[in-house]
Structure 1
Amino acid sequence: MKLSHFNFELPDELLAEYPAENRDESRLMVLNRKEQTIEHKMFKDIIDYFDEDDVMILNDTKVFPARLFGNKEKTGARIEVFLLRELNAEQRLWDVLVDPARKIRIGNKLYFGEDESLVAEVIDNTTSRGRTLRFLYDGSYEEFRKKLTELGQTPLPKYINREVEPEDEERYQTIYAKNEGAVAAPTAGLHFSKHLLKRLEIKGINFAEVTLHVGLGTFNSVEVEDLSKHKMDSEEIIIPASTATTINKALVEKRRICAVGTTAMRTIESSVSSKGNLNEFAGWTNKFIFPPFEFSIANCMITNFHTPKSTLLMMTAAFGGHDFIKRAYEEAVKEKYKFYSYGDAMLII
């Protein structure tokens, strides 16, 4: 499979700038792999495709306000800093992206907040991800993290061409988010409302939680035509023992096991035993899934509509079948489905 196999024309107006008015009233395209059929539904209709003791795997990561705006010393130039990963809590070292990148050199200081109470110094310029900053702050670690939260903004994706609004703080977060550490939302989960989760629970659906802290790996672009040469950035994952138990029981009972999102799918596929069971795990994954790929755990997947040439589209094609997904995407463009983070959803069974 080549990068060019995942290119398609996506009209700008189909990129969702705002979320649907109600979480569970996004549109839902249902793909049946066996029958090769496409249905058009609403997201809350998803309940009709699941039975008692089926399992939904949710990524419970929580987005933190990772986008900061600061000023460069001397020139006062406005610099955007996107926090990617904490490298060392004690030394307050962070991997970051800076924009505009060409203006930032080792030794430069950046000032944040109107009172400039938070200062950062650039100490490394060579990482593939951008820069390493050391934050200089007198208070305790707790006070420092509080300061970051206070000064940070919800890190909406770059394609959303508007200011962050108060509702984004809540809507760019799943309602079951609890483990802080992601710089982007696991967007398939954004469609679940409290009401829908309750209805699924009453129907007897089991929820199994995993954590993948969404970082650059998920949305970094692919620059090589030969997909086997693309290197994914590592992201932190956690699979609790209780989750492995729930999923392995469902495997034995041949239930429907649904990965809610590409991040949940990557997490479980990163920890499969030689017998084809799920192992508990805490660590890092740089797994890159593209066709052809033999999936071991989930037999069903919920995902959003992804942008051309993205690793997310490649994984979706690996699960749904390249030609079938291509046909579904042509249909989605024709039917004006909304794409990307705040967009509509797809259920592949």
Structure 2
Amino acid sequence: MTDQREKLILSNEDVSNNGQEKKVFPFADLPSSLLELIMCCLVLRDNIRASAVCKAWRKVAEAVRIAGKHPWVITFRKRDDLIVLYDPMERKRYTLNLPELAGTDVCYSKDGWLLMRRSSLVDMFFFNPYTRELIDLPKCELSFQAIAFSSTPTSGTCVVVALRPFTRYNVRISICYPGATEWANEDFSCSLGFDPYMHSNLVYANGHFYCFSSGGVLVDFDLASRTVSHQVWSEHRSPYIHSDEWFNRPKRIYLTEQKGELFLMYTCSREKPMVYKLVSSNWEEMGSTTLDGVTIFASMYSSETRVDVLGMRNNVYFPKYGLKSKTCTSYSFDEGRYHKQFPKVKYMWQMRKELCPLRSLWIEPPPKNV
């Protein structure tokens, strides 16, 4: 069977002046750079199928094949400058002594970088816990309720955006970048209404920053034009938030993206997480058959997604674990249940901390040379 596949050819007629010449190119003779471009566009399942075509394709497919690589939990302890890294798959804990982070609070995480804020509340900086590289930002005089950055601060295209709802109909957006001397502040109106107390984290995708409010309002900040638009989906106001049945239970809204596609998630105590994907301007509810291998790693500050992580497919993972815990708390859509029992708590607000502690979030795992 393999020999037959290796004999497959890619035909390309090259007609000469007499119209009789024909050239044929075997698959194995395709330029490796072209093969790499093809293989990089394939999902894991199609990559594996393509690797069976011939030896050359298998070599390139295996070289570019990247099974989903899960993030780790990073936890900032309150009383010292130690941080804890936890691998939820290997179930191992590591500690790092980072005096640079003493007296600071974490605000966001992306691509292995942290956005930190010092106790003065106005001094902010980027920090890479693996290289210990630190990049200062200008003082941020105004408070904010959500903040995010677009790419690594060393990329040359990094932009930091902070969001602060003044009232239900007024939002301030502050913009900064590494090397800037000050923040730029712009105020926008939100005629559809934006809940200043119950909204998601900020998410960057395709040149836009997004934030979702409990009223079903998606705020869209276009970075290039510096304009804000918003759209409302009344049918996607979370019942966890707007129903008296769950009135006294802690709730949370999460927003994340996967290859530019937005995912929205509601959680409420022990209830099943409600996950939606934005498809053609409509939010479609996701389940075990429609998530298609997506794993959501949720936290208070930033959430991430991965695809085809072995042992983690169709799950939501939260950055809560204990000293004796076997793994993080997670919800399996395939099994329809949470893994790791919820601990008993005296007050309902403590349940929110159990799922997403304030000082814990997800970060890229350390490089092999660290």
> TM range, normalised to the smaller chain?
under 0.3
Higher relative contact order (CA 8 A, sep 6+): 1
| Structure number with higher strand proportion | 2
| Structure number with higher helix proportion | 1
Q: Normalised by the size of structure 2, how large is the TM-score?
A: 0.25
